[in-house]
């Protein structure tokens, strides 16, 4: 699993875009700070009735059930089809040149943050980092996805505590207990509805197209199920539905709302995705076919094509799908530049043959971790740590060109 410090954004220079219509703005820390308006139906403490978890109107085009792929994996790509191709970065401030990458074919990037950073205290929001990132993306012609961590992506081992797994990402004034209400605590849904409502009101959904609430929360849910014999899935997915309903009712033109889960076609990864799909606009999937103990013994290029097909057919519901992270190492002993390029080409070939199955696909990452030989995730960059493009750079980004 990837360290959350890889994704945690450092304080960037705040670039104010527009004032949120539901609050006031001040900048005591050179960050955009929004105070929630108690009159807003989605604001914490309002008297509005809780939103239902039935499917609300969605942003943009209506989600479809996504028929199983009609063309076999590896079918010849259609040269007329350009893909929505993204990349994350392992440098906290996403230091790569957005304009250069867009000219090479990149269509989007991803910004990672956490609930605690966006809402340090109840109803007070700090949007300076997202302001800056959305402005940079728009200036370069890129779209932006934002992932808001509510659990720790390093929470991967049985026995890990809530202090490490959850409350490190929550605002300090929002309690959480796995043996209590868990994610079913109505205060959590109320506060997140208000937060995402403020985001929907503030940003242009043609730039900020997707907001994901939670990154691989399913890993934490598995730990609690093992350690405490408590299934947090119902509370989590119902919370997602409540938030989506509240935001959709107030902001018809908004980013697509979703959550991110880890996906492999095996029982361990089956429960949360299927149940979450009915409660989100889009379900983000992380897929790492060369990760140790990854499902299947087939070569990584064939494996990732099989996984891409299995995700659409195995996840029940009408939500859209997005590949929010996928990657393969180019560094020994985990891979080579040639094997990395083969995985990227296999993904592109599959997506060309089935262009409507996924909203987009994002490679992890633009550049290597500081120590690329440390683990399988270290050498996945399209470029080396010093900015030298690997063969995979051209292969991946060219798929975004018309």
Distance CA 210, CA 107 (A): 13
Distance CA 220, CA 164 (A): 11
Alpha helices for 253-336 (secondary structure H): 271-277, 300-314
Task: Output the CATH code of domain 58-398.
Answer: 3.20.20.80
Compute CA 52 distance to the chain's CA centroid, rounded to the nearest angstrom: 24
CA dihedral (254, 115, 38, 185) positive or negative: positive
Provide the 8-state DSSP code for 332. T
Provide the 8-state DSSP code for 9. P
Beta strands at 108-114 and 85-87: parallel, antiparallel or unpaired: parallel
Place of tokens 């095996």: 266
| Domains of the chain, residue spans | 58-398
Both structure tokens of 235: 């509370």
Q: Are 312 and 321 in contact (CB under 8 A)?
A: yes
Distance CA 184, CA 163 (A): 18
Q: Are 241 and 53 in contact (CB under 8 A)?
A: yes
List the Cα angle 94/96/97 in 5-degree steps: 125
pTM exceeds cut of 0.85: no
Sequence-ordered list of residues with C-beta below 8 angstroms from that of 213, at least 6 positions apart, any chain? 148, 150, 192, 196, 240, 243, 257, 258, 259
Distance CA 341, CA 119 (A): 40
Q: Are 143 and 108 in contact (CB under 8 A)?
A: yes
pLDDT in tens, the chain (402 residues): 454 333 333 333 333 333 333 333 333 344 556 665 544 433 333 333 333 343 433 343 333 333 333 333 333 344 457 999 999 987 666 789 999 999 999 999 999 999 999 999 999 999 999 999 999 999 999 999 999 999 999 999 999 999 999 999 999 999 999 999 999 999 999 999 999 999 999 999 999 999 999 999 999 999 999 999 999 999 999 999 999 999 999 999 999 999 999 999 988 888 899 899 999 999 999 999 999 899 999 999 999 999 999 998 888 777 999 999 999 999 999 999 999 999 999 999 999 999 989 999 999 999 998 788 888 999 999 999 888 999 999 999 999 998
Distance CA 312, CA 30 (A): 44
DSSP structure string for 334-349: T--HHHHHHHHHHHHH
Q: Are 109 and 95 in contact (CB under 8 A)?
A: no
């Amino acid at each position: 699993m990837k360290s959350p410090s890889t994704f945690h954004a450092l304080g960037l220079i705040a670039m104010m875009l527009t004032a949120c219509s539901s609050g006031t703005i001040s900048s005591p820390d050179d960050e955009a700070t929004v105070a929630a308006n108690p009159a807003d139906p989605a604001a914490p403490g309002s008297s509005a009735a809780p939103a239902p978890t039935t499917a609300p109107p969605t942003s943009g085009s209506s989600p479809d059930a996504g028929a199983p792929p009609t063309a076999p994996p590896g079918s010849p790509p259609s040269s007329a089809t350009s893909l929505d191709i993204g990349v994350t970065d392992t440098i906290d401030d996403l230091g790569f040149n957005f304009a250069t990458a867009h000219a090479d074919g990149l269509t989007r990037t991803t910004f990672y943050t956490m609930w605690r950073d966006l809402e340090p205290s109840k109803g007070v929001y700090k949007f300076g980092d997202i302001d800056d990132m959305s402005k940079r993306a728009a200036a370069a012609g890129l779209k932006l996805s934002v992932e808001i961590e509510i659990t720790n992506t390093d929470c991967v081992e049985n026995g890990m505590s809530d202090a490490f797994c959850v409350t490190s990402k929550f605002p300090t004034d929002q309690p959480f207990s796995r043996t209590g209400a868990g994610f079913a605590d109505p205060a959590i849904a109320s506060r997140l509805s208000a937060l995402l409502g403020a985001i929907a009101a503030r940003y242009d959904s043609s730039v900020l197209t997707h907001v994901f609430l939670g990154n691989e929360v399913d890993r934490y849910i598995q730990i609690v199920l093992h350690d405490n014999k408590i299934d947090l899935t119902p509370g989590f997915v119902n919370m997602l539905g409540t938030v989506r309903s509240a935001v959709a009712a107030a902001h018809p033109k908004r980013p697509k709302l979703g959550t991110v889960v880890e996906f492999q076609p095996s029982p361990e990864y089956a429960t949360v995705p299927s149940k979450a799909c009915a409660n989100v606009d889009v379900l983000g999937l992380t897929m790492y076919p060369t990760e140790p103990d990854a499902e299947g013994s087939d070569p990584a290029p064939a494996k990732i094509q099989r996984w891409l097909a299995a995700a659409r057919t195995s996840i029940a519901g009408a939500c859209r799908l997005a590949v929010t992270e996928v990657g393969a190492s180019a560094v020994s002993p985990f891979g080579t530049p040639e094997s990395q390029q083969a995985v990227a080409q296999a993904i592109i070939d599959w997506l060309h043959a089935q262009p409507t199955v996924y909203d987009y696909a994002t490679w992890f990452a633009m550049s290597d971790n500081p120590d690329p030989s440390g683990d399988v995730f270290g050498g996945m960059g399209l470029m080396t740590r010093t900015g030298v493009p690997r063969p995979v750079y051209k292969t991946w980004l060219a798929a975004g060109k018309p």
